[in-house]
Amino acid sequence: MAEKGESSSKAVEESETETLKIEGSGKGITEHMSQMREHMMKLAIEKAQELKNSVVPAGEEDEMVKLRSMDGVTFEVEASIAKEMETVQSFIEECGRDPSEVIPLHNVSSRELSRIVRYCSEHLRLARDGDIKGTKEFDNRFVAALSLYEMKELVLAANYLNMKKLLDFLSASIAEVIKNKSVEFVREFFGVDNDYTPEEEHQYRSLHAWAFKG
């Protein structure tokens, strides 16, 4: 009888211990989720503040910069927009700012420059308002209006102008579109030569058949 009592008592203790473990685990998860929410809110606030600080308030900067595309079209843009283009900004810092001077952009067409100016202008406007949601919605509309090949041309222009944020955004958008495309399509799209022999390619395809579906 004593053994039965001890066994029963031990079972109760083990059950209580397990319950405490589960409750402790639940508390840990709840605390972790709460910390994650606080962290995300903090990041959102910091991002909004960063956007506000990254631009000059409207009306405080009236200087204009003249840019000429590779096909000879001249754009007159606000200095705040020109600052988004590190290549242009470096030119201004090295040569000084002369309102009458036209800065040549030898590798950017008027079509791409027009899109980039519109993108920067809208981003700066939304940033002044700290409108993160509006910025995301604009990004979605902007890229949805472009074909895959237009995105590639814009990537080349953004790379020439050294616009990291736009370059990252466009690269991610292209990656999303081509992720289910065939290897042949991706090779052709990026102009990559196939340096495998027919035998090597056959062997590679056999080993990694899943990667060639699409």
User: In the chain, what are the domains?
Assistant: 64-178 (3.30.710.10), 183-212 (no CATH)
Instruction: Enumerate residues 6+ apart whose C-beta is below 8 A from 44.
Output: 132
Per-residue model confidence (pLDDT) at position 44: 55
Q: What is this structure's pTM?
A: 0.62
Q: How many Å apart are CA 121 and CA 41, to the nearest integer?
A: 27
Per-residue model confidence (pLDDT) at position 14: 56
Q: Strand 74-78 to strand 102-104: parallel, antiparallel, or no bridges (unpaired)? A: unpaired
Tell me: the pLDDT tens digits for 161-184?
999 999 999 999 998 988 887 777
Per-residue model confidence (pLDDT) at position 57: 47
- 194 and 201 Cβ atoms separated by less than 8 Å: yes
Per-residue model confidence (pLDDT) at position 58: 47
Supply the angle between the helices 110-128 and 132-144 in degrees, to the nearest 10: 160
CB atoms within 10 A of CB 70: 16
* Range list of β-strands (E), 89-181: 102-104
pLDDT below 50 — which residues of the chain? 1-2, 4-5, 12, 22, 25, 56-60
Per-residue model confidence (pLDDT) at position 60: 43
- 67 and 103 Cβ atoms separated by less than 8 Å: yes
Q: How many Å apart are CA 51 and CA 55, to the nearest integer?
A: 7
Determine the distance from the C-alpha atom of residue 133 to the mean position of all C-alpha atoms in its chain, rounded to a whole number. 14
- 112 and 154 Cβ atoms separated by less than 8 Å: yes
